[in-house]
Structure 1
């Protein structure tokens, strides 16, 4: 059985809740990624949320706020979703589709070991599974 760990992009660079969005954007550019996990200051690898490049634009820049002054804690919201490294691909797809998310942290032994993105799915899934995923994620009406 193919697992989350088999298809994920290994490793993850973290930011903390107190890091600025400017720092997050610069790190995203440097790493060529569109999302970063956010940890709290006391347990930097305790997942508190995820910041995406879109979050920075929509929740900060478009509101006329300064990315140099806004912090990750200013824009993260909700409970972050994640998947166990040993979960099967069907479970990964269910989690992403049911919550309409495009990136999913992978956890092993209470530590984040990687991230699954749409690009990872595209590299590892058969075409029919990928098409079904896209239909659920991009459908006009919520699942």
Structure 2
């Protein structure tokens, strides 16, 4: 059966940080949760999306102090979002058009999950190389 709606493929639940959280706090949360992104939320409203790459490219590479720089100052503000009832094809189209790999899932203004290219690959094409990579244990990588 092919997943038709975002709710069928999304990762439920949201890991979030406050806009004023330090990059160190956000990075530690990502490590503890074994994830590569967190939602930046002001109360229950999504104000941004912060990825491990954002921390690396927009902060560490510029030599800023990750203890003093806020998540909001480095995150992608006002990220594109989808709803749980949106078609997966709509999420794919947004990802393709805007060259993003993940989208917060928002319902009635509240973040309820995240959908990534990997989630879609696992659901739609479980035998694909991308699905294999996504499902692999990141701590069990062989050396090339």
- Global fold match (TM > 0.5): yes
Give the Å deviation of 1:79.
Answer: 2.6
> Judging changes above 3 Å, is the alpha-carbon distance between structure 1 residues 87 and 73 closer, same or farther for their aligned structure 2 residues?
same
Moved over 4 A (4+): none
Structure 2 distance, partners of 1:122, 1:26, is 27
Matches within 5 A, 1:1-143: 2-40=4-42, 44-126=43-125
The gaps in structure 2 that reach 5 residues or longer are: 131-144
The gaps in structure 1 that reach 5 residues or longer are: 132-143
The alignment of Structure 1 onto Structure 2 pairs a total of residues equal to: 127
Give the Å deviation of 1:117.
Answer: 1.2
Give the Å deviation of 1:118.
Answer: 2.1
TM-score scaled to structure 1, two decimals? Answer: 0.82
Structure 1 distance, partners of 2:59, 2:124, is 35
Structure 2 distance, partners of 1:72, 1:26, is 12
Q: Is the 8 A contact 1:103 1:115 kept in 2?
A: yes
Q: Is the 8 A contact 1:121 1:130 kept in 2?
A: no
CA RMSD of aligned residues (A): 1.9
TM-score scaled to structure 2, two decimals? Answer: 0.81
Structure 2 distance, partners of 1:38, 1:64, is 22
Give the Å deviation of 1:11.
Answer: 0.2
Deviations 1:8-66 (A, max 9, x none): 000011101100000000000000000000012xxx22010100000001111111111
Structure 2 distance, partners of 1:130, 1:87, is 26
Give the Å deviation of 1:86.
Answer: 0.4
Q: Secondary structure at the match of 2:113?
A: strand
Structure 1 distance, partners of 2:124, 2:96, is 15
Structure 1 distance, partners of 2:82, 2:33, is 23
